[in-house]
Structure 1
Amino acid sequence: MSVPAVDRLTVYGASWCPDVRRSRALLDSTGVEYAYIDVEQDPAAEAAVRDLQGGPRRIPTLVWPDGGHLVEPSDEELTARLDRG
């Protein structure tokens, strides 16, 4: 299975995860639109994340329409990627 093609930023996460909440707060504060998918509620999404990462399920996983992705980014890493477009 592979991560499906997306037409905007997609954030894979879980509601209990502080890193997911932090990344979403940064995106929200900058007005970035994104789709949020809870991997604990969507088994296909969890499988896609595991496939993308080669086995583990680390969250948040952010996937851009160009196929680029970040796994457990710091605020600095996420901001730098957003600045690139």
Structure 2
Amino acid sequence: MMRSWILPMLFVLCGLMVATGVFLGGSSGEGAAILLMFVLLAAVNSSLIFPRSIGAQEAQRRSAADGRPVIFWRPGCTYCLRLRTRLGRSARRAHWVDIWRDPAGAAVVREACDGNETVPTVFVGGRPHINPDVEWVRGQISSQ
């Protein structure tokens, strides 16, 4: 669980260090802007903007029942972030699995990706699609 928060914590710590230097230099407005920028970077790279993750087994069970895609992702992945932001509100209709929080999810992805943890990996109807086109994923979500 801590692994997914390492990058956001690093952003906040770096922001505090840089902003402190700017504050000590006498520019409080610039220091506040820099700190805000680093906090926003931390939020974007955290688990906060993604729908609540569930375990791989639970996601696969739910997907079998409702036909919705299962999206395997990890914090800090720019491709996952791009997929999440471009899906917009419809992202909540998919089942999301954070492979850093769920070892079974990481194993599923490694099996589908020849031993690599390549994300985002989207499962639709039990078939894996590695880093698929956003429009295709949106179509899979909206068809359910």
1:71 pairs, out of 125, 130, 139, with 130
- Unaligned 5+ segments in structure 2 are 1-55
- The alpha-carbon distance between structure 1 residues 83 and 41, as it changes in their structure 2 partners (threshold 3 A), is closer
Q: 1:21-44, CA deviations, whole angstroms, 9 ceiling, x for partnerless residues?
A: 111122224x25111111111111
Structure 1 SS opposite 2:110: helix
Output the TM-score relative to the length of structure 1. 0.72
Letter in 1 for 2:140: L
C-alpha separation in 1, matches of 2:142 and 2:128: 13
* Partner of residue 100, structure 2: 40
For 1:35 and 1:47, how far apart are their aligned partners in 2?
A: 17
The structure with more strand, counted as a fraction of residues? 1
- Distance apart, 1:54 and its partner CA: 2.5
Q: Which has the larger radius of gyration?
A: 2
Q: Aligned-pair RMSD on alpha carbons?
A: 2.4
Please tell me the residue identity of whatever aligns with 1:73.
P
Mean Cα deviation higher: 67-76 or 55-64: 67-76
1:82 to 1:36, Cα distance in 2 relative to 1, 3 A: same
| Distance in 1 between residues matched to 2:135 and 2:109, nearest whole Å | 22
1:52 is displaced (CA, Å) by 1.7
Structure 1 residues 72, 28: CA separation in 2 closer, same or farther (over 3 Å shift)? same
Q: Any unmatched runs of 5+ in structure 1? A: none
Change (3 A) 1:83 1:11: closer
What residue identity is the alignment partner of 2:132? P
Q: State the TM-score, normalized to the length of structure 2.
A: 0.46
